[in-house]
Amino acid sequence: DIQMTQSPSFLSASVGDRVTINCKASQNINRYLNWYQQKLGEAPKLLIYNANSLQTGIPSRFSGSGSGTDFTLTISSLQPEDVATYFCLQHNSWPRTFGGGTKLELK
Amino acid sequence: EVQLVESGGGLVQPGRSLKLSCAASGFTFSNYYMAWVRQAPKKGLEWVATISTSGSRTYYPDSVKGRFTISRDNAKSSLYLQMNSLKSEDTATYYCATLNTVDYWGQGVMVTVSS
């Protein structure tokens, strides 16, 4: 199984900060990586698919990069509504595996 | 409006069975692979099962393989998860989802496995 190691697990930042969250795959997953945002009490929501494609309706301050084993989600200018937990998901092979999550809070 | 509405959750004793349902509307259900994803209380997400559009192919992680069965009825736009031999570690909120670039999720249904 492919292990997805996400870091950091917790992040505190200020409004306007540039925020980066990382996911590392235990083996090559090409660009088959998605990023999800989950707000408290809600279902997850897709932000980025296939490593760097912005999902329809998602603000352009969100971006993704990477390929192979190392991936990054970047929020260019943190907004209060971005407080959430973020997860990566590899869909290169079965079983699908999620990263452990990054809880993002406002400083 | 797209809706995925899960039902069938509740409290069940270890070793017993439970069947979850997910009613889909607002999109062409039969065109999409469908999945179940779960989240234990205050924990991360875990993929549980995926089924192909026709239902001919199913996929599971080792943690549920042989105990859980995903199925679908395209005529009823419904997805199911039959869960047998339940364990305490299966306690979670279960979401049905497309898990696709066309991103639809239900609101989740809670399953508690406890004596």
Match 């809706």 to its residue by tokens. B3
Q: Render pLDDT for A42-88 as a digit per residue (tens, 0 to 9).
A: 999 999 999 999 999 999 999 999 999 999 999 999 999 999 999 99
Cβ-defined contact of B62 to A95 (cutoff 8 Å): yes
Which residues of B lie inside 8 Å of A (Cβ-Cβ)?
35, 37, 44-47, 50, 59-62, 95, 97, 99, 101, 103, 105-108
- C-alpha distances out from residue A2 to A35, A97, A98, A107, B18, Å: 16, 7, 9, 33, 29
Q: What residues pair up with B10 in beta bridges, in sequence order?
A: B111
Provide the strand spans (E) within B1-115.
3-7, 10-12, 18-25, 34-39, 45-51, 58-59, 68-73, 78-83, 92-97, 109-113
Q: Does A100 touch chain B (CB under 8 A)?
A: yes
Position B101 scores a pLDDT of: 87
CA B93/CA B107 separation, integer angstroms: 9
Around Cβ A45, how many Cβ atoms within 10 Å? 16
Position A81 scores a pLDDT of: 98
- C-alpha distances out from residue A58 to A45, A67, B5, Å: 10, 21, 24
Q: Does A18 touch chain B (CB under 8 A)?
A: no
Cβ-defined contact of A46 to B103 (cutoff 8 Å): yes
Q: Which residues of B touch A93 (CB under 8 A)?
A: none
CB B78 within 8 Å of CB B24:
yes
Q: Which of B60, B62, B108 sits opposite A43 (nearest CB)?
A: B108
Q: Which two tokens stand for residue B73?
A: 């009825």
> Measured between CA atoms, how close is A18 to chain B, in angstroms?
24
CB B109 within 8 Å of CB B56:
no
Position B100 scores a pLDDT of: 86
User: To the nearest 10°, the Cα dihedral for A84, A38, A61, A90?
Assistant: 120
- From first to last of the 115 residues of chain B, give the pLDDT tens digit: 999 999 999 999 999 999 999 999 999 999 999 999 999 999 999 999 999 999 999 999 999 999 999 999 999 999 999 999 999 999 999 999 998 888 999 999 999 999 9
CA B53/CA B34 separation, integer angstroms: 8
